[in-house]
């Protein structure tokens, strides 16, 4: 009897174990199957090289080079101190730094730790030769962004940086991951999705120590798409060279279709720094420097246009102010409005002059009168027609809009009515009006091409797909008006007493307009914008020099040099 | 006489024993073949040799009337206790515990054999008195017998083996007719002294017990074995991953998988069905043992059979429960399955004794 009881106790215990096994093997079996798979399968990602960037002639501008990185498997690092000492000797890096790097990047004993990146081919070869004496140390290679022309074109390309929290949340669903490099500005940012490619992966089977024991599969990485720019690197480098040391922006554009041949903003930066010295002080100093090298002054910053705006005033006056080509207005050197006196830049005045001569002379008094005749609303209207006050739509992110003021704007923003004196300032491109150099080159292109706004663009082709969609929007200005202004612009450069005389190029008919914009300081911004050849324009330029003095001097000179270079490169 | 012995030899019990051993052998092979020792190399061959020794001993035991063992019970028990004392001084340390003698390259663990000699000693006492007086004072001597091996094994320290002595004692007393009231009283006293016992446990034993309550508290340390073992068994699902194909086993995620955690290999590679078959085989084994105990009129023989069944059942239940994560990791081998000579020989001796009792029982 008692033995039977013992039997029951034993078999009930067995029953409990069977129930338990049923629970973990059948009920929760799938969970444990998943866990056991996770145990043994590791996914190693393989970086995809970013797409390369070429200039308009197929010249390679940005590519990927191989970086040799030193990695350590901590578990295999038997004589840590000796090996670090040897490494320090070969790599010319202090033992302390190596030790710190190893500690900082340590994950698990069997996961390789990258302790030093991009040691260069020479050191990599030396290290490879010494490898037998350095157990646990090995060389890894990875693709690295390489900006061949360093500073040149940096504002076009932008730079790469590690994805931040916000970007990651936004882009997680598109396959972005922690520590990914992502374009932070310029083309690298705007075309990041095309450039980045698709990361590959390798599935391996590992044992309990994390050592690879089997190979399950590989998905090859897909290289990012190559981009072909509208930029001509020969011109770009030339401009960067002559513009070195200046602060400002230059843009050269084909006025017929919006292709940007060059886009320069200075001071610039070397985007390679963001790859090579990520996290170093060199980079953060770029962001705090007083001359703001990270700013793309051509597209991201707005300035008063000064006299280059007179082109717009002229159009408004000719079409809405009752001014004709033959209308003459007199300049005595100043213009009185109520008890206030508005001066021309030329103290003794320009005398009686027509529209063409007023443009040539850049006469303030003439344009005070012409602008007043058109009125503030027409000035604002024509500004908008020429594309001011909104982004040009260039394929760069964060483009600035600028500001086109009118009565309504002032009433809403400043809660004040419009003063007549403000119309006078408006007429010569001063006051509240703010523009980007890119907007200026587009506006002058509308004169050059006979009356339409183009959309500037930098990328013409993604691999084999042509993406240059030429967008033309009519400005709705009569041919006559454009002709009159154009003739004035030709005189600016070509007449012996033209304000833009410095831009003259022998054997080339250049048209242009200078500008000298007042600022809150006593230094002025210098502008020049123009196009050539005047009769069949193939290139439009804008030169902007922040606190660069008078537009008729350095800015015009630079424009002349650029047109000369364009001629040399057979653009005309 | 010979004919009767032959007729009463429990063939089912013997065959089931061999089948379980064979399953164990295949699992040991699966658990160790990656170390590159070949089918008959290394541990598998060693285990077969142990089994041969075990079978020889089993047949030797069959040829001696089990009553002779009762006669020698106290002496064998005394000698065994002496060995336990010696192992504390001269034994080899392995896994932090001093349990081993080394004889000609084979490890030898006296604490395994104490289970048998202890059963013999208890049977000798419980069987002698034709009439058990059912007084609580009669329980004094069995506890006195229990103390020396318990203390000596604890000092090694080998918590698992020390624990086995308890069910043996209680099952034997219960089967002998001790009052349930008395047994319950003693068990309550035992439970009340738990905090005191906890205090006496070694640090790693405490860790194992606390990890049992929450294995994730230390997933890479003490909880690792438990988590990995449960993953292995759970991932076996219904039919298992197939022999030699359990990833937890083959890729070394399971520690001690050829010894204490051999059941995890079965669970992973054989699945739920494999586990059921194995538990079924163990059930048959124990059932046959219980039948022998029940059919024996001799109090010595019955006590001995009950003790052996208690020992085997406890080890099976605790080992299975521990592998599946229902019980703390106490380090008990699975009889006939786990790699290890002393354990295998002890099991073979106990099965020999069971068969012996079955063959020579005085009939009602």
| pLDDT tens, position by position, A106-126 | 766 666 788 888 888 888 888
| pLDDT tens, position by position, A524-550 | 999 999 998 999 999 999 999 999 888
Structure-block tokens of residue B139? 């329980």
* Under 8 Å between Cβ of A347 and A335: no
Chain B residue with minimal CA distance to A108? Answer: B220
| Per-range mean pLDDT, top range of A282-296, A302-316, A332-346 | A302-316
- In total, the C-beta contacts within 8 angstroms joining chain A to chain B are 120
Does position A359 have pLDDT exceeding 80, yes or no?
yes
| Per-range mean pLDDT, top range of A38-42, A75-79, A394-398, A511-515 | A511-515
Does position A509 have pLDDT exceeding 90, yes or no?
yes
| Residues A39, B310: C-beta atoms closer than 8 Å | no
Task: Find the farthest-apart pair of alpha carbons in chain B and give their distance in angstroms, rounded.
Answer: 62
- Whether A11 contacts chain B with CB within 8 A: yes
Chain A residue with minimal CA distance to B282? Answer: A14
- Whether A213 contacts chain B with CB within 8 A: yes
Residue A340: strand pairing partners:
A337
Cα(A321)–Cα(A376) distance, integer angstroms: 11
Averaged pLDDT score across all residues of chain A: 89
Does position A105 have pLDDT exceeding 80, yes or no?
no
Structure-block tokens of residue A417? 């009515």
| Residues A35, B231: C-beta atoms closer than 8 Å | yes
Peptide bond preceding A127 in cis form (omega within 30 of 0) = no
Q: In this predicted structure, what is the pLDDT of residue B131?
A: 54
Name all domains of chain A by residue range, CATH numbers in brackets. Answer: 44-229 (3.90.1310.10), 300-489 (3.40.710.10)
Q: Closest approach of chain B CAs to the CA of A39, in angstroms?
A: 8
Does position B40 have pLDDT exceeding 60, yes or no?
no
Q: For a pLDDT cut of 90, what percent of chain A falls above it?
A: 58
Q: For a pLDDT cut of 70, what percent of chain B falls above it?
A: 85
Interface probe with A: pick from B166, B180, B220, B247, most Cβ of A within 10 Å: B247
| pLDDT tens, position by position, B141-165 | 888 999 999 888 878 777 788 889 9
Q: Closest approach of chain A CAs to the CA of B224, in angstroms?
A: 11
Q: Which of A52-61, A214-223, B273-282 has the lowest mean pLDDT?
A: A214-223
Residue B106 — pLDDT band, cuts 50, 70, 90? low
Q: What is the ipTM of this complex?
A: 0.91
Cα(A283)–Cα(A271) distance, integer angstroms: 10
| Residues A29, B237: C-beta atoms closer than 8 Å | yes
| Residues B306, A10: C-beta atoms closer than 8 Å | no
| pLDDT tens, position by position, A429-466 | 999 999 999 999 999 999 999 999 999 999 999 999 99
Q: In this predicted structure, what is the pLDDT of residue A202?
A: 79
Q: Residue A16: list chain B partners with CB under 8 A.
A: 326
**pLDDT: is A177 or B356 the higher one?**
B356
The verdict on whether A307 is a catalytic residue reads yes
Within A70-153, where are the H helices? 80-91, 95-105, 121-129
| Residues A4, B231: C-beta atoms closer than 8 Å | no
Does position A174 have pLDDT exceeding 90, yes or no?
no
| pLDDT tens, position by position, A282-308 | 788 888 888 889 999 999 999 999 999
B356 contacts: CB under 8 Å, gap ≥ 6: B61, B62, B64, B65, B66
- Measure CA of the first residue to CA of the last residue in chain A; give whole Å: 116
Peptide bond preceding A533 in cis form (omega within 30 of 0) = yes
Does position A501 have pLDDT exceeding 80, yes or no?
yes
Q: Closest approach of chain A CAs to the CA of B134, in angstroms?
A: 15
Does position B104 have pLDDT exceeding 70, yes or no?
no
| Residues A32, B276: C-beta atoms closer than 8 Å | no
Does position A209 have pLDDT exceeding 70, yes or no?
no
Cα(B52)–Cα(B41) distance, integer angstroms: 16
Q: Residue B236: list chain A partners with CB under 8 A.
A: 25, 29
Averaged pLDDT score across all residues of chain B: 84
Structure-block tokens of residue B147? 């103390």
Q: Closest approach of chain A CAs to the CA of B238, in angstroms?
A: 6
- Whether A109 contacts chain B with CB within 8 A: no
Q: In this predicted structure, what is the pLDDT of residue B86?
A: 86
Cα(A551)–Cα(A133) distance, integer angstroms: 67
In Å, how far from its chain's centre is CA B141? 24
Closest in A17, A24, A206 to B234, CB measured = A24
Interface probe with A: pick from B173, B235, B253, B257, most Cβ of A within 10 Å: B235
The β-bridge relationship of strands A113-116 and A60-72 is antiparallel
Residue A264 — pLDDT band, cuts 50, 70, 90? very high
Residue A522 — pLDDT band, cuts 50, 70, 90? confident
- Measure CA of the first residue to CA of the last residue in chain B; give whole Å: 17
| Per-range mean pLDDT, top range of A559-563, B152-156, B330-334 | A559-563
Q: Closest approach of chain A CAs to the CA of B38, in angstroms?
A: 19
Reported pTM: 0.67
């Amino acid at each position: 009897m008692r033995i039977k009881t013992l039997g029951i106790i034993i078999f009930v215990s067995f029953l409990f174990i069977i129930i338990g096994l049923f629970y973990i093997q059948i009920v929760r079996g799938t969970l444990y199957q998943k866990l056991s798979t996770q145990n043994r399968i590791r996914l190693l990602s393989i970086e995809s090289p970013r797409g390369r960037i070429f200039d308009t002639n197929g010249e390679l501008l940005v590519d990927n080079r191989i970086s040799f990185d030193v990695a350590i498997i901590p578990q295999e690092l038997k004589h840590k101190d000796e090996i670090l000492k040897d490494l320090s000797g070969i790599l010319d890096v202090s033992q302390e730094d190596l030790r710190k790097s190893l500690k900082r990047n340590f994950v698990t004993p069997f996961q390789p730790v990258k302790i030093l990146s991009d040691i260069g081919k020479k050191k990599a070869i030396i290290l490879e030769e010494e490898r037998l004496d350095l157990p646990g140390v090995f060389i890894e290679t990875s693709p690295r962004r390489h900006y061949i022309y360093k500073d040149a074109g940096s504002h076009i390309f932008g730079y790469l940086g590690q994805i931040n929290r916000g970007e990651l949340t936004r882009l997680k669903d598109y396959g972005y991951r922690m520590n990914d490099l992502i374009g932070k500005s310029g083309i690298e940012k705007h075309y990041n999705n095309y450039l980045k490619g698709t990361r590959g992966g390798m599935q391996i089977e590992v044992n309990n120590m994390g050592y690879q024991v089997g190979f399950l599969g590989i998905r090859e990485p897909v290289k990012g798409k190559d981009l072909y720019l509208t930029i001509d690197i020969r011109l770009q480098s030339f401009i960067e060279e002559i513009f070195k040391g200046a602060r400002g922006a230059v843009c050269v554009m084909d006025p017929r279709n919006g292709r940007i041949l060059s886009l320069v903003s200075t001071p610039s930066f070397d985007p390679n720094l963001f790859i090579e010295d990520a996290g170093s002080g060199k980079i953060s100093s770029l962001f705090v420097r007083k001359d703001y090298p990270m700013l793309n002054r051509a597209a991201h910053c707005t300035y008063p246009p000064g006299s280059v705006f007179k082109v717009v005033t002229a159009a408004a006056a000719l079409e809405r102010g009752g001014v004709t080509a033959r209308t003459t207005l007199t300049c005595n050197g100043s213009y009185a409005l109520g008890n206030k006196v508005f001066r021309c830049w030329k103290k003794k005045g320009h005398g009686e002059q027509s529209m063409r001569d007023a443009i040539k002379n850049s006469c303030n008094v003439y344009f005070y009168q012409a602008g007043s005749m058109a009125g503030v609303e027409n000035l604002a209207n024509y500004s908008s027609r020429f594309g001011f006050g909104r982004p040009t739509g260039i394929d760069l992110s964060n483009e600035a809009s600028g500001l086109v003021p009118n009565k309504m704007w002032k009433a809403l923003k400043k809660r004040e009515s419009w003063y007549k004196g403000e119309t006078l300032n408006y007429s010569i491109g001063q006051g509240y009006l703010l523009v980007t150099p890119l907007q200026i080159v587009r506006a002058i292109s509308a004169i050059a091409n006979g009356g339409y706004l183009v959309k500037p663009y930098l990328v013409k082709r993604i691999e084999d797909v042509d993406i240059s969609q030429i967008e033309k929007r009519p400005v709705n200005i009569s041919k006559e008006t454009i002709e009159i202004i154009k003739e004035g612009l030709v005189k600016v450069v070509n007449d012996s007493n033209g304000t833009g005389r410095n831009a003259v190029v022998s054997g080339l008919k250049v048209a242009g307009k200078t500008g000298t914009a007042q600022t809150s300081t006593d230094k002025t911004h210098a502008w020049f914008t123009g196009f050539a050849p005047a009769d069949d324009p193939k290139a439009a330029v804008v030169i902007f020099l922040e606190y660069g003095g008078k537009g008729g001097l350095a800015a015009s000179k630079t424009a002349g040099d650029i047109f000369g270079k364009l001629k040399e490169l057979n653009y005309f | 006489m010979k004919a009767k012995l032959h007729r009463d030899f429990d063939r089912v019990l013997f065959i089931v024993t061999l089948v379980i051993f064979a399953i164990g052998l295949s699992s040991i092979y699966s658990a160790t073949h990656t170390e590159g020792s070949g089918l008959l190399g290394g541990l598998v061959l060693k285990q077969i040799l142990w089994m041969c020794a075990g079978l020889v001993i089993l047949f030797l035991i069959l040829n001696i009337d089990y009553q002779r063992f009762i006669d020698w019970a106290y002496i064998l028990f005394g000698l065994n206790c002496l060995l336990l004392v010696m192992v504390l001084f001269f034994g080899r340390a392995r896994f932090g515990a001093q349990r081993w003698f080394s004889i000609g390259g084979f490890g030898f663990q006296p604490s395994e054999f104490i289970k048998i000699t202890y059963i013999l000693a208890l049977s000798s006492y419980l069987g002698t008195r034709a009439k058990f007086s059912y007084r609580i004072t009669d329980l004094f001597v069995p506890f006195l017998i229990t103390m020396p091996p318990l203390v000596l094994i604890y000092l090694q320290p080998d918590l698992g083996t020390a624990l086995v002595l308890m069910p043996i004692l209680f099952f034997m007393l219960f089967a002998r007719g001790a009052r349930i009231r008395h047994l319950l009283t003693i068990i309550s006293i035992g439970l009340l002294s738990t905090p005191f016992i906890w205090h006496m446990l070694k640090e790693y034993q405490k860790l194992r017990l606390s990890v049992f309550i929450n294995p994730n508290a230390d997933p890479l340390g003490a909880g690792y074995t438990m988590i990995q073992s449960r993953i292995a068994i759970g991932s076996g699902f219904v039919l298992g991953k197939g022999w030699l194909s359990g990833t937890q086993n083959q890729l070394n995620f399971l520690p001690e998988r050829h010894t204490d955690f051999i059941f995890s290999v079965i669970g992973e590679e054989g699945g739920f069905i494999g586990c059921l078959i194995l538990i079924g085989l163990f059930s048959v084994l124990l059932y046959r043992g219980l039948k022998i105990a029940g059919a024996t009129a001799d109090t010595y023989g019955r006590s001995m059979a009950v003790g052996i069944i208690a020992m085997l059942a406890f080890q099976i239940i605790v080992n299975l429960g521990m592998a599946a994560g229902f019980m703390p990791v106490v380090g008990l081998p699975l009889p006939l399955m786990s790699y290890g000579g002393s354990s295998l020989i002890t099991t073979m001796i106990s099965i020999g004794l069971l068969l012996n009792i079955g063959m020579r029982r005085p009939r009602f």
